[in-house]
Amino acid sequence: DTAVSQTPKYLVTQMGNDKSIKCEQNLGHDTMYWYKQDSKKFLKIMFSYNNKELIINETVPNRFSPKSPDKAHLNLHINSLELGDSAVYFCASQQGEAGNTIYFGEGSWLTVV
Amino acid sequence: AQSVTQPDIHITVSEGASLELRCNYSYGATPYLFWYVQSPGQGLQLLLKYFSGDTLVQGIKGFEAEFKRSQSSFNLRKPSVHWSDAAEYFCAVGAGITGGGADGLTFGKGTHLIIQP
């Protein structure tokens, strides 16, 4: 069973469209994240949620809206897609305290054309 | 703010040779430190982590890392690399943004490991 699963794995879409990436974790963790990996492989945190509550929003444009319907899910919706949004988006989860292992999904490759 | 520096963008090592990947961090308190590996087209897998205790940490796949506070370093080592070790390696520090458990990680820019036959 995949611990952190994301769908879709690949997404090609046109500029201006709205798209969503879904994430689910079956580890029973209370904290979930979205990370963005750019074309140079640099990983940067976008959002973190703890028990469905937004904790961190790292200067992400408000076209990006995370939604956590429950502790096991953290979806990412992106409005009005731009070319610069092309990246790999990773969902991750962690139990509780700082220092605990963060488990990553396999990534969602978004290409905006 | 926390930061992580991986000075080597690419490293090429012959199969069977030893490996050391460098990582330096900037953090005010005792850091939580991690090494992750990313194979092509894959997600990130944890190799090992340090947050207290013995400064030499053993991980999966034969990797180890040593925390040196005086040098602000957490270098990753392997005595003999295999072709399957070719991947991107990321050092990370607990982000400490809010001080709580949902701060996530601040990553270095990664080191691309190439294995020569």
DSSP A74-87: EEEEE-S--GGG-E
**Would the pLDDT of A57 be above 90?**
no
The partner residues of B38 in beta bridges, in order of sequence, read: B44, B88
**In angstroms, rounded to a whole number, what is the distance separating the alpha carbons of residues A79 and A23?**
18
Residue A31 and residue B42: Cβ atoms within 8 Å?
A: no
Distance from CA of B108 to the nearest CA of A (A): 7
In a mutational test of the A interface, the residue from B89, B107, B113 whose CB has the highest number of chain A CBs within 10 Å is B107
Domains, in order of start, for chain B: 3-116 (2.60.40.10)
Classify burial at B81, counting beta carbons within 10 Å of its beta carbon; exposed 0-12, middle 13-18, buried 19 or more.
buried
How sure is the predictor about B94, in pLDDT bands with cuts at 50, 70 and 90? confident
Domains, in order of start, for chain A: 4-112 (2.60.40.10)
CA angle (A60 as vertex; B38, B94 as ends), nearest 5: 50
CB contact at 8 A, B11 and B113 = yes
Query: Would you list the DSSP string of B41-69?
Result: T--EEEEEEESSS-SEEE-GGG-EEEEEG
Give residues 23 to 42 of B whose Cβ lies within 8 Å of A.
32, 34, 36, 38, 42
- Residue A84 in contact with partner chain B when CB distance is under 8 A: no
Residue B100 and residue A44: Cβ atoms within 8 Å?
A: no
Classify burial at A91, counting beta carbons within 10 Å of its beta carbon; exposed 0-12, middle 13-18, buried 19 or more.
buried
**Would the pLDDT of A10 be above 90?**
yes
Q: How many CA atoms lie within 13 A of B60 on its CB side?
A: 9
pLDDT the model gives residue B98: 64
Tell me the pLDDT tens digit for each residue of A61-102.
Answer: 999 999 999 999 999 999 999 999 999 999 999 987 777 889
Tell me the pLDDT tens digit for each residue of B33-84.
Answer: 999 999 988 889 999 999 888 899 999 999 999 999 999 999 999 999 999 9
